[in-house]
Amino acid sequence: MPSKLIDMLFGCKHQFTFPIRPEGDEKMYQVCTQCGAEYEYDWHTMRRLGPMQRKATAVRLPAVP
């Protein structure tokens, strides 16, 4: 609980994983091990480019009886 409060007040310090490239995808990304934020990564310049832009996907929920 105290760490969540500190993160809310000061933000996450972001400690990233090694760059990840999903199979069949050309884009690489890194994930913060503290908060789960995903950032695009450029292997050629060895730099993070910014937060990942996610496409919104519709999810069909089961009908409620």
Q: How many helices (H) and strands (E) does the chain have?
A: 1, 3
Residue range 14-62, pLDDT digits in tens: 899 998 888 777 788 999 998 889 999 998 999 999 998 766 555 666 7
Q: What is the torsion angle, in degrees rounded to the nearest 10, for the CA atoms of residue 52, residue 8, residue 15 and residue 46? A: 40
How high is the pLDDT of residue 2? 62
Strand, coil or helix: 31: strand
How high is the pLDDT of residue 21? 86
Contact yes or no for 12/34 (Cβ under 8 A)? yes
